[in-house]
Structure 1
Amino acid sequence: MENGIAIHNREWIKDKIYTIRGEQVMLDFELAEIYGYETKRFNEQVKHNIERFDEDFRFQLTDEEFNAILRSKISTSSWGGTRYKPYAFTEQGIYMLMTVLKGELAVAQSKMLIRMFKEMKHFLQNNANIFAEINTIKQNLLETNIHQKEADKRIDELFTLMDKYNVEEKQGIFFQGQIFDAYAKFESFIAQAKKKIVLIDGYVDLSVLERLSKKSSGVNVVIYTDPKTKLTAQDIQKFNAQYPTLTVNHTTKMHDRFLIVDGKTLYHIGASLKDLGKKCFAFEVFDSAFIADILAKV
């Protein structure tokens, strides 16, 4: 325990991500443990803000889902013997928890869980063929009435063949409507920064500053944007009062959007950051040798 919060490793948390109704979800009482709440108090916080949690963000399990999927996987220590049907939170629901559960710890825990969901999503996609083979093995073993231990042994052998998820993506495409995924990816870029972020984007507004506020403390931000930007001197002053230090410069020389992290990582982003996910766009990592040239021309 640390400051009343249960500390769990990544494997423990991964084991608490279930697939229900075709969605990756986590359950209320296990989320409560991660956030340092009693389950009752955790759900009260959600109910006080229930208008933020639509059915695709949070739903209650049915008896069938509870009996067939969860009972065999939930430890008695975490379950506590309560027999109510728990609520499941989707990836979007966990993102919304960050706006409901206040404080730096809640934000940090939410970010950690969101990144874990992204990792698991790619893990499942990259190993879909192996999971299909696992399902085939299960079906064949059930049909031939082979003992479950033999099934588990063969499945374990398949899992040893899986590649570890690679978080160092060099490029990617987000399609229209993938607003959450696009913003989560952008926040993962700025989370890398230890000293300085340089953003070149002709259409910066307050929504972009909101994303940049997620940077680590002490990281300076420099923005190059069009002189007609909607940002005002008051906007910049208010940002600096909470998240110093932001400097805004004006330029008309750049068409594309670039993000430079700590002077060594150069992202080319195909959409203005205020419009991420509204239409199809791509990002890629450029050779860092271009950074000096870009900064010299801006």
Structure 2
Amino acid sequence: MRAVVVDSPGGPQALRVAQVPEPEPGPGQLLLDVAAAGVNRADLLQRAGHYPSPPGAPPWPGLEVAGTVAAVGPPATTHDGAPLAGASPQVGDRVAALLAGGGYADRVVVDATHVLPVPAHVSLVDAAGLPEAVATLWSNMRAAHLAPGETVLVHGGSGGVGSVAVQVLHALGHRVVATAGGAERCARVAALGADVVVDHRAQDVREVVQGATEGRGVDVVLDVLGGRALGDNVRLLAEGGRLVVIGLQQGARGELDLPALMARRGSVIATTLRDRPAAQKTRIVQDVREHVWPLVLDGRVRPVVQERLPLADAARAHELLERGDVFGKLLLLP
């Protein structure tokens, strides 16, 4: 089968399509014919040599796909040989899958408990833009102990995670403040359900947030910036607020204003999703299935896709994402 491989770390041109062995599903796994793979910023880091696949995962990029079940591996069993309870998709089912790697390919193998059913009203191709975003959002909102009615600031509301986060949080009744760059992108984020959208190119984010919250600040910041934004984000928090760092677009290191954090009795949380143990991912996907996926099933949350590109154009997809020109997700089609 074909896959997009990286022979040596580098820029987008380090990506190339190559023939690789087709995977075979093991116990408790599914083989999927890939309809599309989502492109994420973690893929850019992997291509550059900074975020290698965890042990056991294919060495090429791709953290999420959607496709059709082509084969089902043997049932997973406990140590004494009893079948494990859990999801049991069948050949022909349409699913979206969370992966540890290897999505840029014609076929993938995935744990059967790491998939979500794609409803008939959602394009199977576009569904590839959902698994990583919903799992990232929900696992981090759990880590932040998000309570009903709290206000959340979503940095990068026009991004792959942000465009889904705005929809989910709005649908669940939270007040959503989001940032985006430029008037057009801000208008589109507002249409997704954000109550307040800050144009970070033209407005002072802290000033707008303070005005929108009557000086209180926000309960949770979902931050894709990291690094240099650390101090500013702490100062956006309300009393008891939580800063959740999920990205490093502004670097891996920053200065933490401890007096400001202490004055707010705040906390800083940082997580990754890709390298979590399989059992943790199973729990996250089950949680998403229970709490978030109904919003997809009833149409309140949808994938936001800017462009669908052939697998051979993976380098172009990475270039677009690096330039910051993407609203929502880019997808690669085998």
Specify which structure has the higher proportion of helix: 1
Considering the TM-score relative to the shorter chain, is it more than 0.5?
Answer: no
Q: TM-score, normalised by structure 2?
A: 0.30
**Which is bigger in relative contact order (C-alpha 8 A, separation at least 6)?**
2
Specify which structure has the higher proportion of strand: 2
Q: TM-score, normalised by structure 1?
A: 0.33
Rg bigger for which structure?
1
